[in-house]
Amino acid sequence: MNRTSQIARSLARTSFASLLLASVVSALLGSRVAAQILVPPYDSAYSVVTLGTPPSVPVRLGGVAFKPGDRDAIYVGGNANAGTGAVYRVPVTRDAQNHITAFSGPGVKFADAPNIDGGLQFGPGGVLFFTRYNTHALGMIKPNSASMDKSVSLAISGFKGSVGSLTFIPAGFPNAGQLKLASYNSGNIATATLAPDTSGTFDIASLTVGTSISGGPEGIFYVQPGSPLIQDFKTMAICEYGNGDISFYDIDANGDPLSATRRRFIRGLSGCEGAAIDPLSGDFIFSTFGASNKIVAVRGFGLPCGATQFYGQGLPGSGNKIPVIDHQGCFARRQDIAITTDGTPLAPGAMVVGIAPLSAPVFGGTLLVTPLFLVTHVTNSLGVYSMALQIPDDTNLLNTDFFFQAIYLDSGATQNFSFTRGLKLQVR
């Protein structure tokens, strides 16, 4: 967003005036970044670390993102809002707690991303999605591509202004997996459902406009559970470019921020632009646009939850009831969770656990998990079983998929066995 005022541009008529103006603006904006303040009571639980300007990334930073499987880099937009905008891969150094402490080398262009703004995130199919200012469009870059493969207009369904940012709604929040968009100009918040096209990118199947907020929303993210002083699964954080703040908002049943619930988290910022959650540490990482052009880390947040997916078909038992499999808690490192079933009372059975799916006919049903081990058990008098799990703090587990299915001995089933459907959980 080249939001420099017309007055400033008119003053910069000579090279000397341009240099003078740039120096003054840089000093002023630099002082504002240095003065960023955590607002009480959050200052007691969180801390802010300025990582600096990523080397070899053109100034006017855009969105920031983390690529699954690439733990040693951050992806940053450069030349934001310009036709020459691009995404750069910047290597990073981490400490023993997996916090990013520094950039370890120059940024290398990853792909062209013309007009990139504050939204940048890897999504379904490994596609890199980014918002485009002020074209009010959604750009997409396919895996192994070095340029934008598709751009889709967002001027639909009454979504006004020009899009500033995006995020894919994480597990545990309303409309998990869908795409949430924020308009910088209008403050409109919208939810998009994507549909695969025939080229490895996506069309917008539907777009619904929800609430609106003020302050010029840029980077947005849902606050992960286990974050101090914040209610689990109830809060969105928004970089308010126009206000110079980062604020928390309660969300409604659609996952949209409620304007009346605004609570300032950080004040005294200039140009807060992109937003991302570091999957290894849980740190909130944001970029600043303009003369400061810094990457900043906010420490203290919990880890994001892994995605949940049900798959396959179960097989009914007594009363023509298919036993139900589900989970409780956040499937993330350092978390305690439970895998639960609800079926026939006092039924003996086995929980099948594995790291790969399967589709093998057996006992009239389908075994949906390649067995790694089994946990035998009996449901209680209500037909309920709960298997407690502790997920270790091991980053080697990051993005690992685990698969679960329960099978029960049940005289009311076709061949005396009933099956749940499959449950896939990914560690974050």
> What pLDDT digit, counting tens, does each position of 120-144 carry?
999 999 999 999 999 999 999 999 9
pLDDT in tens, 172-208: 899 989 999 999 999 999 999 999 999 999 999 999 9
Angle at 227 between CA 75 and CA 272, to 5 degrees: 40
Task: Report d(CA 212, CA 218) in Å as an integer.
Answer: 13
Whether 15 is covered by a domain: the verdict is no
Residue that has been written with the tokens 């341009």 in this structure: 18
Domain containing residue 109: CATH number: 2.120.10
pLDDT at position 291, please?
A: 64
pLDDT at position 35, please?
A: 58
282, 329: one domain: no
78, 99: one domain: yes
89, 190: one domain: yes
pLDDT at position 36, please?
A: 74
Last residue of a domain, one of 251, 281, 299: 299
Whether 2 is covered by a domain: the verdict is no
385, 282: one domain: no
Report which of 22, 23, 76, 35 is spatially closest to residue 245, judged by C-alpha positions.
35
Domain containing residue 358: CATH number: 2.20.130.20
Name the stretches of the chain with pLDDT < 50.
1-34
Whether 14 is covered by a domain: the verdict is no
pTM of the model: 0.80
Q: How many domains does the chain have?
A: 2
Q: Residue 222 CA to chain centroid, in angstroms?
A: 7
Domain holding 143, by residue range, is: 31-299
Query: What's the burial of 71, exposed, middle or buried (CB within 10 Å: 0-12/13-18/19+)?
Result: middle
